[in-house]
Amino acid sequence: MRGLLTLKDLSTEKIMELIKYALKLKKGFRISYPDKKVVTLFFENSTRTQYSFQCALMNLGIKVVDFDTQLSSIAKGETLYDTVRTFEALGVDGVVIRHSKDEYFKELENIKIPIFNGGDGKSNHPTQSLLDLMTIYEEFGKFEGLKCCIVGDILHSRVAHTNIEVMRRLGMDVYISGPEEYNDNSAEWIPLDEAVKTMDIVMLLRVQFERHQEKMNITVEEYHEKYGMNSKRVSMMKDNAIIMHPAPINRGVEIADDVAECEKSRIYKQMTNGVYVRMAVISDALDGNL
Ligand code: CP
């Protein structure tokens, strides 16, 4: 399969090449694919991933074919494979997919056009991790030896699972923190008040209320008090340490309202970088390199 499905398929050299290409695009380098069309198939809600892919496609001069699951033949029972195979037959040059099923792309092995994974279940969110890495690289100019703590709903988070794997490969020390019921032991767990004093990056995760089978056994106020980033915790951070969050953010839950846009927050920079990372990935795939 072509495109970008999981970062596990990419070497650290290829990841660095994509980050550097995204930085070049951010500095103004332009490349255009005016005869190409790409469809965005989002089976789960999305603002950042869906629309930053669309902005990236527009910046590359590519036509965006929009897809509404409610108005499509998905509602008549058409499968994901037959939907993607149809767009391939229609002459579309690539497809962006977000789906709740883990590794949905295993059903699409016969598809020849590039597939760009916009998130699958709890498993992969490769372009989110690339934009996180680009933001970290812009900040620190390296990965080796940096300490990052990912805080919150690790268990349900494809962002955490993708980042833990790739950050370790890049030489970072990755820790997790937050409520015990969300600890899946994917990294060493440390208390948040220790993490904020020692980390270079504190990456907060959204509490994913929509994925929980049962309600959290604490209130959102208690969550914020125990595991949320507030101004007191920000004041404990190292001078050059930063706060990241893939967003959407629950203000007042995992992050205080005034912290979301404080001097240490890189949340909106992450969103900006997402456009350039997605331009880099799409361009590289259309050039036959992914
Ligand atoms: N970060 C992220 O994936 O956001 P969306 O769900 O809005 O795409």
pLDDT tens, position by position, 85-101 = 999 999 999 999 999 99
Query: CA-CA distance, 260 to 204, in Å (whole number)?
Result: 11
**Whole-number Å distance between alpha carbons of 55 and 226:** 37
Cα of 125 from ligand 1 centre, angstroms: 9
CA–centroid distance, residue 178 to ligand 1 (Å): 21
If we measure between CA atoms, which residue out of 219, 18, 217 comes closest to residue 130?
Answer: 18
CA-closest candidate to residue 95, choices 157, 128, 50, 125: 50
In one letter, which amino acid is 14? Answer: K
Task: Give the pLDDT score at 215.
Answer: 61
Q: How confident is the model at residue 211 (pLDDT cuts 50, 70, 90)?
A: low
Indicate which atom in ligand 1 lies nearest the CA of residue 247: 1
Q: Which atom of ligand 1 is nearest to the CA of 47?
A: 7
Which two tokens mark 219? 């209130």
Closest CA to 247 of 274, 221, 227, 222: 274
Instruction: Work out the percent of the chain whose per-residue pLDDT is above 90.
Output: 92
Nearest to 197 by CA among 236, 243, 149, 226: 236
Distance from the CA of 159 to the center of ligand 1, in angstroms? 10
Helix/strand/coil (H, E, C) string of 119-156? EECCCECHHHHHHHHHHHHHHHCCCCCCEEEEECCCCC
3-state DSSP assignment of residue 20: helix
More confident residue, 283 or 209: 283
What is the Cα–Cα distance from 77 to 236, expressed in whole angstroms?
Answer: 53
Spacing, Cα 275 to ligand 1 middle (Å): 12
pLDDT at position 173 is 98
49 lines ligand 1 (CB under 6 A): yes
What is residue 245's three-state secondary structure? Answer: coil
Residue 214 pLDDT? 60
Distance 100 CA to ligand 1 centre (A): 13
Mean of all residue pLDDT scores within the chain = 95
Question: What percent of the residues of the chain are helix, what percent strand, and what percent coil, each to the nearest 5?
Answer: 45, 15, 40
- The residue to mutate among 42, 46, 244, having the most atoms of ligand 1 within 8 angstroms of its beta carbon, is 46
Q: Where are the alpha helices (DSSP H) in the chain?
A: 12-26, 48-59, 80-89, 126-140, 158-169, 192-198, 220-227, 231-235, 257-260, 267-286
Nearest atom, ligand 1, residue 52 CA: 8
278 lines ligand 1 (CB under 6 A): no
Compute, in angstroms, the gap from residue 47 CA to the centroid of ligand 1. Answer: 6
Q: Is 246 in the pocket of ligand 1 (CB under 6 A)?
A: yes
Stretch 42-53: mean pLDDT: 97
On the question of pLDDT at 213 being above 80, the answer is: no
pTM: 0.96
> Are 186 and 179 in contact, with CB atoms under 8 Å apart?
no
Q: Find out whether the beta carbon of 118 lies less than 6 Å from any atom of ligand 1.
A: no
Q: What is the pLDDT of residue 1?
A: 85
From 45, 48, 52, 122, the mutation candidate for ligand 1 (largest count of ligand atoms within 8 A of CB) is 48
Question: 73: Cβ below 6 Å to ligand 1?
Answer: no
Specify the long-range contacts of residues 267-273, CB closer than 8 Å, at least 24 apart. Answer: 267/243, 269/135, 269/138, 270/131, 270/132, 270/135, 270/244, 270/245, 270/246, 271/48, 271/52, 271/247, 273/22, 273/26, 273/131, 273/134, 273/135, 273/138
